[in-house]
């Protein structure tokens, strides 16, 4: 067994290294991914070891980055593109939504689109505008795209390789405020299925469902609730499209209560879909309505307000209490 403790950032770097080693068709593309190793150093050292033909610094044009990745995929390559920050994906949104997502269907399944779009996302790092957004629902809403987000180092390592192996376009959201969190990575493990949810903590009274950066907050909330004698189960969704509704259902049938937590605005967010589906599936099991905790219907605020804006322990525990009060 090759288990090693590493940060999420390092796990992603190792994962990309492994993918480059394994398949000569894998390419890394993006702004500053070469010499600099990316602004978060996720591609650190890769250009040095794999050359400028494999690890490609691109012009500053996101539509160009994704559009040419589509062309490279048509030619048999497997591009992994980096969008520098969440708020900068929108110049590429047209290419992602109108082209990348639909190519396979339009070609009657004759062509594949193995493109991974890596996006450092969500808040909590005290950044300026456009550097802290959670646009995952905008992508999950689009048929043809798969959308995932790891919450820990092991998932970061394995999910990225699985995303690269996928013949479908995958939007890979990286929780930037967790980049430096460390965890065990077993590089020989048989990985979890990419779109399967994971029970991160077992519990009996309430299920908390979250993904990416909020999984840690939910685990902390569960630990705090345990001191008050409440038993909280935490489900790490890992994938926002498809969502593992079976996995959530199994947990909800046990606990009979569900709170969905994400940083993104609640209105029409991933949690809305989960609340609706779980209500349909588990109507007779539920002791309380499915509650959602998340961002407000307001632009992501300036850094000095993000602690208030982001759901923290208190807001999650408040929702747990409300759920239990029914």
Partner 1 sequence: MTVESTAARKPRRSSGTKRAAGAASAAKPAAATAQTQDAEPQLVQLLTPEGERVDNAENAEFAPFVADITTEDLRGLYRDMVLTRRFDGEATSLQRQGELGLWASLLGQEAAQIGSGRALRGDDYVFPTYREHGVAWCRGVDPTNLLGMFRGVNHGGWDPNTNNFHLYTIVIGSQTLHATGYAMGVAKDGADSAVIAYFGDGASSQGDVAEAFTFSAVYNSPVVFFCQNNQWAISEPTERQMRVPLYQRAQGFGFPGVRVDGNDVLACLAVTRWALERARRGEGPTLVEAFTYRMGAHTTSDDPTKYRRDEETAAWEAKDPILRLKTHLLATGGADEAFFAELEAESEVLGKRVREVVRAMPDPDTMAIFENVYADGHALVDEERAQFAAYLASFEEGH
Q: Tell me how far apart the alpha carbons of residues 167 and 103 are, in angstroms, rounded to a whole number.
A: 12
- Residues designated as active site: 131
Longest dimension (CA), the chain: 60
Q: Which residues, other chains included, contact 157 with Cβ-Cβ below 8 Å and sequence gap of 6+?
A: 11, 12, 14, 15, 185, 187
Q: Interface with ligand TPP includes 88 (CB under 6 A)?
A: yes
| Pairing outcome for strands 198-201 and 232-236 | antiparallel
Q: Interface with partner 1 includes 224 (CB under 8 A)?
A: no
220 binds, among ligand TPP, partner 1, none (CB under 5 to 8 A by kind): none
**Contacting ligand TPP (CB under 6 A), which of 62, 233, 263, 306?**
62
Region from 84-92, 153-161, 229-237, 274-282 binding ligand TPP, contact rule CB under 6 A: 84-92
Q: Interface with ligand TPP includes 84 (CB under 6 A)?
A: yes
Q: Quick one: 23 or 32, whose CB is closer to partner 1? A: 32
Q: Interface with ligand TPP includes 91 (CB under 6 A)?
A: yes
Q: Quick one: 31 or 133, whose CB is closer to ligand TPP? A: 31
Q: Interface with partner 1 includes 36 (CB under 8 A)?
A: yes
Classified as helix, coil or strand, 73 is helix
- The alpha carbon of 224 is separated from its chain's Cα centroid by a whole number of angstroms, namely 25
Q: Tell me how far apart the alpha carbons of residues 26 and 77 are, in angstroms, rounded to a whole number.
A: 6
Write a three-state SS string for 160-197: HHHHHHCCCCEEEEEEHHHCCCEEEEECCCCCCCCCCC
52-91: contacts with partner 1 (CB under 8 A): 57-64, 87-88, 90-91
277-306: contacts with partner 1 (CB under 8 A): 296-299, 301-305
Q: Interface with ligand TPP includes 268 (CB under 6 A)?
A: no
Q: How many residues bind to partner 1 according to rule CB under 8 A?
A: 40
């Amino acid at each position: 067994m090759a288990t090693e403790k590493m940060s999420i950032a390092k796990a992603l770097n190792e994962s990309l290294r492994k993918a480059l080693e394994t398949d000569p068709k894998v390419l890394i593309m993006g702004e500053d991914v070469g010499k600099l190793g990316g602004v978060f150093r996720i591609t650190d050292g890769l250009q040095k070891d794999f050359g400028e033909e494999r690890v490609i610094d691109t012009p500053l044009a996101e539509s160009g980055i994704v559009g040419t990745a589509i062309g490279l995929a048509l030619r048999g390559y497997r591009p992994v593109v980096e969008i520098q920050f969440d708020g900068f994906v929108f110049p590429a949104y047209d290419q992602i939504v109108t082209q990348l997502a639909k190519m396979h269907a339009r070609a009657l399944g004759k062509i594949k689109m193995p493109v991974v779009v890596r996006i450092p996302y969500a808040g909590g790092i005290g950044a300026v505008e456009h550097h802290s957004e959670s646009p995952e629902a905008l992508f999950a809403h689009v048929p043809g795209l798969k959308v995932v987000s790891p919450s820990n180092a092991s998932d970061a390592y394995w999910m990225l390789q699985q995303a690269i192996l996928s013949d479908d376009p995958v939007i890979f959201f990286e929780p930037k405020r967790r980049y430096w969190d460390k965890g065990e990575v077993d590089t020989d493990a048989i990985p979890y299925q990419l779109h399967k949810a994971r029970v991160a903590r077992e519990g009996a009274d309430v299920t908390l469902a979250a993904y990416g950066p909020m999984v840690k907050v939910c685990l902390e909330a569960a630990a705090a609730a345990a001191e008050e004698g409440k038993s909280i189960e935490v489900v790490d969704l890992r994938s926002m499209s498809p969502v593992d509704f079976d996995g959530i259902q199994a947990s909800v049938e046990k606990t009979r209560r569900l709170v969905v937590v994400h940083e993104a605005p609640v209105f029409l967010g991933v949690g809305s879909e989960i609340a609706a589906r779980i209500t349909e599936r588990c109507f007779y099991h539920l002791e309380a309505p499915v509650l959602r905790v998340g961002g407000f219907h307001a632009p992501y605020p300036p850094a000095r307000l993000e602690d208030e804006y982001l759901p923290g322990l208190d807001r999650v525990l408040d929702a747990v209490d409300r759920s239990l009060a029914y």
